[in-house]
């Protein structure tokens, strides 16, 4: 059963780009958000075999260490011609420095080495809300699209510049934050664009409502 979410929450991340997006998504609500990185919490080892399992590991660790509800996202890009890679290892393809320019170059090189012509890919986001008492909730979202090389645009973060969502001419790297993950609360509104905003919309509908 979903719980109403109020007050303060920990965003279980040390990723600055992801923190910016999560704070933007939380902006319409009366929620004070602090990151695990800002609290000096250690990063747990992500030993899960799915995005949901890794999100739960991070959320549980942050909730337990902080005594506050914690929200964790585990997300990545899955490339069809690479058998779903980088997938769970999307961040690791950027190396210790989290260099996503290098990560995108690796995707392109891996495709070239296979002589791949399939440019289909999709992003996945799993959001887990965890409370210190062990209660957890899972919300997931995904978006399908095609790969673009060379990558285009400097907005967003991660693999955004190489991903063009279906039905659009621009990559996520060429879109504003509002275009990428803006949420329209009207009943007839289309689904939001990004994988993270789709997961967040499901969470928001269950846990809180926008300010009047």
Question: Is 2 among the domain residues?
Answer: no
For the question of residue 160 being annotated catalytic, the response is no
The predicted pLDDT at position 187 comes to: 64
Q: In sequence order, what are the residues at sequence separation of 6 or more whose Cβ sits closer than 8 angstroms to the Cβ of residue 176?
A: 155
The predicted pLDDT at position 166 comes to: 96
Measured distance CA(169)–CA(188) in Å, rounded: 24
Write the CATH number for 193: 3.90.950.10
Below-70 pLDDT ranges, the chain: 185-187, 209-212
Containing domain of residue 43, as a range? 7-207
User: Which tokens belong to 47?
Assistant: 């030993």
Per annotation, catalytic residue among 73, 74, 99, 166: 74
Question: Is 195 among the domain residues?
Answer: yes
Question: Is 212 among the domain residues?
Answer: no
pTM above 0.95, yes or no: no
The predicted pLDDT at position 159 comes to: 96
Question: Is 1 among the domain residues?
Answer: no
Question: Is 52 among the domain residues?
Answer: yes
Q: How far is CA 48 from the centre of its chain?
A: 16
Number of domains observed in the structure of the chain: 1
Question: Is 183 among the domain residues?
Answer: yes
The predicted pLDDT at position 19 comes to: 86
The predicted pLDDT at position 212 comes to: 46
Question: Is 201 among the domain residues?
Answer: yes
């Amino acid at each position: 059963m979903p719980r109403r979410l109020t007050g303060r929450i920990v965003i279980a991340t040390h990723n600055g780009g992801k923190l910016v997006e999560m704070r933007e998504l939380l902006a319409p609500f009366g929620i004070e958000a602090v990151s695990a990185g800002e609290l000096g919490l250690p990063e747990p080892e992500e030993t899960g075999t799915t995005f949901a399992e890794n999100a739960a590991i991070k959320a549980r660790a942050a909730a337990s260490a902080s005594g506050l509800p914690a929200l964790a996202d585990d997300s990545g890009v899955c490339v069809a011609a690479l058998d779903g890679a980088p997938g769970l290892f999307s961040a690791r393809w950027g190396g210790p420095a989290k260099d996503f320019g290098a990560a995108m170059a690796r995707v392109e090189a891996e495709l070239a080495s296979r002589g791949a012509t399939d440019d289909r890919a999709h992003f996945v986001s799993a959001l887990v809300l965890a409370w210190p008492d062990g209660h957890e909730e899972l919300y997931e979202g995904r978006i399908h699209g095609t790969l673009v090389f060379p990558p285009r645009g400097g907005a967003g973060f991660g693999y955004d510049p190489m991903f063009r969502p279906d039905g659009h001419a621009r990559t996520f790297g060429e879109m504003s934050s509002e275009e990428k993950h803006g949420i329209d609360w009207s009943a007839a509104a289309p689904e939001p664009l990004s994988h993270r905003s789709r997961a967040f919309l499901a969470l928001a509908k269950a846990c809180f409502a926008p300010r009047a």
